[in-house]
Structure 1
Amino acid sequence: MDIRSVDLNLLVVFDTLMRTRSVNRSAEAIGLSQSATSGALARLRKTFDDALFVRTAATMEPTPRAQQLAPVVRRVVQTIQSEILLPPQFDPAQARRSFTILTPDIGEVAFLPGVLRRLQDEAPGVHLHAVSRPRAAAADALEKGEADLAVGYFPDLQKAGYFQQALFTSSYECITSADHEWAGRRVTLKQYLAARHVLVRPDGREHLLDSWLESRGWHRQVTLELSHFMSLIALLPGTNLVATVPQDIATAVGRHIPLQQIALPFKPPQLQVQQFWHRRMHNDAPNRWLRSLFYEVNRRDSGARLGY
């Protein structure tokens, strides 16, 4: 028998007939007309080359072939109903699985603490793996399933095939050590550009501020380039270095060392922080739960600062 010739709806009719022993009651249970149910029984008989159900004085009794098929058909119908047709469910409290989050080190500092506290209470068996990739590699990682979610500033993902959800809007701040010579002074653009800047490029990523300054023909004197924002904790104290960083980094670094914030001599560009996922994961129940959690924990109103 060629499986392509078998209508799975016929198995539902067979299973119902086994339980009701009646064409009329089967038709009512399935929601078909009596003639449609009789027609389905005729197709079943042809498919299996057996009468399957024989009319007696009161009921339709199964043949030996039908009795042989009955438990197998029951399992198939139950599997379709419970594992194929049932909407996918995800119970975070019982889950034992890992999610990979694509985010730069700023995201590890800003986004993960609150999420981890929620996981401890709501999903203790869920494990997070935070990874950083160059922006050009982010789309490939999501498309191939190497990452479940990207959180941060990813302009390369604002294209077809990817969903996005805004978390908050941020900007840049200029920070120095607490005893920097600029303390209490207003800085001109000429002074700002001539200062000894420390520039952070995680994974070689070019930040929006870099291209924004260059588009205006402004070039900073860069003394040091780093791969990790949190290295500023060790490098700023006791130096005349200047760092212009996203607001969340300024907040996080300021919790570890004394800083002063310097008013920038220009209005910096805005950063739209979002979470992204590939379209093939859009209806995946675990992924829906994950991005809902990140949104609830990390969404901020306009002007709100990072808080743990």
Structure 2
Amino acid sequence: MDIRHVDLNLLRVFDAMLEHRSVSRAAEAIGLSQPAMSAAVARLRALFDDALFVRTGAQMQPTPRAVALAPAVRRVMETVKGEILQAHSFDPAASERTFTLITPDIGEINFVPRLLARLVRAGSGLNLRTLSMPRHAAAEALESGEAELAIGYFPDLHKAGMFQQLLFRNTFVCIVRADHPDVGDRLTLGQYLALPHAAVRPGREHLFEEFLQRKGLERRVLLETSHFTSLMPIIETSDLVATVPRDMANVCVQHANIRMLDVPLEAPTIEVHQFWPRRFHKDAGNMWLRGVLHELFRA
């Protein structure tokens, strides 16, 4: 028998006949008309070359062939009902899943500690993996399934096939060492442009750098670095100024001898989103993780 020629809906008819032993009652149970049910029973008989159910008194009794088929049909029906058709859920306490996120180093500092604490509370089997990559590679990694979420400023991910959710808007501020000899409680634009700077240029266009270029403003950049995380020891032990997102500045102030000042410009804001591809949109684990991130970091 070639399965390509088998209507698997007939197994549902067979199962209903086994349970109800009546064409009319079986038809009512699965939502068919009695003529449609009779036609389906006839197709079953032709398929198995056996009467399968014969009238004995008021009931349709199974033949030996039907009795032999019954356990296998029941297993198939239970599998379909209990595993295939059941709504998929995610239990973080029972899961051993590893979540892979794309985020820059500033995201690792800002997001990972609180997220990791939540994962540990939710279930010891959950694991976290972070990746840092260029924006074009981030899209490819999400679409291939190498990663399931990207968190941060990723303008290239605002495109078809990619879902997104705004978490918060970030502003730019300046950081200097706490006892900087030339900086008081505020910076003038003249001071800001004259002081030596540490600039973070992580191998891609940077929102604040583009803003300065449009304004025609040039700073004295004494040091260029690829990572925000390297700024803490640099700023703490020098007279350099750095312009960073506020969440990064909060970390620096908390963990180093550094203070924060307003940028003497109407600087742009950074929209921080979480992004996920269509393939993970209905995934229960991904949905749970997105909910946790939104709860922890929404504005």
Q: TM-score, normalised by structure 2?
A: 0.95
2:273 is aligned with 1:261: no
Letter in 1 for 2:30: I
Q: What is the rounded CA distance, in whole Å, between the counterparts of 2:105 and 2:120 in structure 1?
A: 22
Q: What is the rounded CA distance, in whole Å, between the counterparts of 2:262 and 2:116 in structure 1?
A: 34
Q: What residue is the counterpart of 2:78 in the other structure?
A: 78
Q: What residue is the counterpart of 2:207 in the other structure?
A: 208
Q: What residue is the counterpart of 2:242 in the other structure?
A: 243
Q: What is the rounded CA distance, in whole Å, between the counterparts of 1:119 and 1:156 in structure 2?
A: 29
SS in 2 for 1:243: strand
Q: What is the rounded CA distance, in whole Å, between the counterparts of 1:104 and 1:5 in structure 2?
A: 53
Q: What residue is the counterpart of 2:290 in the other structure?
A: 291
Q: What residue is the counterpart of 1:63 in the other structure?
A: 63
Deviates more, 1:18-27 or 1:129-138: 18-27
Q: Contact between 1:197 and 1:241, CA under 8 Å: does it hold in 2?
A: yes
Q: How many residues end up aligned between the 2 structures? A: 299
Q: How far has the Cα of 1:157 moved from its partner?
A: 0.3
CA displacement, residues 32-57 of structure 1 (integer Å, 9 cap, x when unaligned): 22222111101111122211111112
Aligned pairs (5 A) from 1:154-193: 154-184=154-184, 186-193=186-193
Q: Percent identity?
A: 56
Q: TM-score, normalised by structure 1?
A: 0.92
Structure 2 spans left out of the alignment, 5+ residues: none
Structure 1 spans left out of the alignment, 5+ residues: 301-308
CA displacement, residues 66-122 of structure 1 (integer Å, 9 cap, x when unaligned): 122211111111111122211211111111110101111111111122222221222
Q: What is the rounded CA distance, in whole Å, between the counterparts of 1:166 and 1:112 in structure 2?
A: 18
The alignment's C-alpha RMSD in Å is 1.5
Q: What is the rounded CA distance, in whole Å, between the counterparts of 1:211 and 1:136 in structure 2?
A: 19
Q: What is the rounded CA distance, in whole Å, between the counterparts of 1:135 and 1:193 in structure 2?
A: 30
Aligned pairs (5 A) from 1:1-308: 1-184=1-184, 186-202=186-202, 204-300=203-299
Deviates more, 1:180-189 or 1:64-73: 180-189
CA displacement, residues 192-218 of structure 1 (integer Å, 9 cap, x when unaligned): 22321111234x233210111112222
Q: Contact between 2:253 and 2:260, CA under 8 Å: does it hold in 1?
A: no
Q: Contact between 1:183 and 1:260, CA under 8 Å: does it hold in 2?
A: no
Letter in 2 for 1:47: L
Letter in 1 for 2:65: R
SS in 2 for 1:255: helix
Deviates more, 1:56-65 or 1:185-194: 185-194
Q: How far has the Cα of 1:141 moved from its partner?
A: 0.7
Q: How far has the Cα of 1:129 moved from its partner?
A: 0.3
Q: Contact between 1:174 and 1:261, CA under 8 Å: does it hold in 2?
A: yes
Q: What is the rounded CA distance, in whole Å, between the counterparts of 2:8 and 2:133 in structure 1?
A: 46
Q: What is the rounded CA distance, in whole Å, between the counterparts of 1:26 and 1:161 in structure 2?
A: 44
Q: Contact between 2:197 and 2:223, CA under 8 Å: does it hold in 1?
A: yes
Q: How far has the Cα of 1:266 moved from its partner?
A: 0.9
Q: How far has the Cα of 1:140 moved from its partner?
A: 0.5
Q: Contact between 1:182 and 1:262, CA under 8 Å: does it hold in 2?
A: no
Q: What is the rounded CA distance, in whole Å, between the counterparts of 1:222 and 1:298 in structure 2?
A: 32
Q: What is the rounded CA distance, in whole Å, between the counterparts of 2:234 and 2:240 in structure 1?
A: 8
